[in-house]
Amino acid sequence: MRFNPLLLIHETVSKHYMKQMLYILPLLLIACGESNNQDKDNSTVDSSEFITKMTKQSTDSINLIDKEIDLDSLRSLEIFKDFAINYTPTRKPNSGVAILPKTPDSVIQAINILKFSNPKEFEKFLTLIFIKLYSAHLECCHQSYEIRRQPPNGLDKERDPLVYEFNNLTKKYPFDKPIEFISSSIGYDYVKSHKYLMDFEPIKKHVDKIEHVQKKIEEGL
């Protein structure tokens, strides 16, 4: 089933606007109630009880929406985490050059939720994918490779969603101009300038592999 961005907007962004409306709606109702009380001296509505009731209903609704958003974020994290951890690019010289994994709709949807709900975890696991790719390229062939499926175009979100998202994270290339070459070393370069990512053991493991191969290349081995 093809990913529907309108459905994603409805499921994520609208929940945040719904929270805002739940704050605003009771105030509007209270204002209307007060206006009616001024116009009708014989009104039986107890404004204090009304305010208490509406506040409680709004709080309960907001808490429910918060739980739904948290669940969406947790589910998205598990989907994307499994996707990144299970990505195993080929490292054998005779098995072809490793490429980025194909992204099913479930992963695309997880990305679109996670990058807003938990950007640190999103950064960590997205970077892991690119570090794995460069590590595989060096172990296999002692060089980096183009990572897009159809170079030398620009950045195509449909064809290369992972490259698009990683560039959106790193801000390395402009989105509106042709790009001659995007090297698989982009992940390694990003980690070297964002040292805190080395605290994540799977990333550190592949950085160590990369630097081990680089040392061998420099020594002519």
d(CA 57, CA 39): 26
Say yes or no to pLDDT of 68 above 70.
Answer: no
Q: How do residues 166-180 score in pLDDT, each as one tens digit?
A: 999 999 999 988 999
Parent domain of 28 = 5-218
Count how many domains the chain has. Answer: 1
Provide the 8-state DSSP code for 93.
G
Q: How do residues 101-144 score in pLDDT, each as one tens digit?
A: 999 999 999 999 999 999 999 999 999 999 999 999 999 999 99
Q: How do residues 20-59 score in pLDDT, each as one tens digit?
A: 555 555 555 555 555 555 555 555 556 667 666 666 665 6
For residue 95, the model assigns a pLDDT of 83
Provide the 8-state DSSP code for 146.
B
Q: How do residues 191-212 score in pLDDT, each as one tens digit?
A: 999 999 999 999 999 999 999 9
For residue 23, the model assigns a pLDDT of 52
- pTM (predicted TM-score): 0.73
d(CA 38, CA 35): 5
* Closest CA relative to residue 32, chosen from 57, 17, 51, 19: 51
In sequence order, the 6+-apart residues with CB closer than 8 A to the CB of 150 are 156, 159, 160
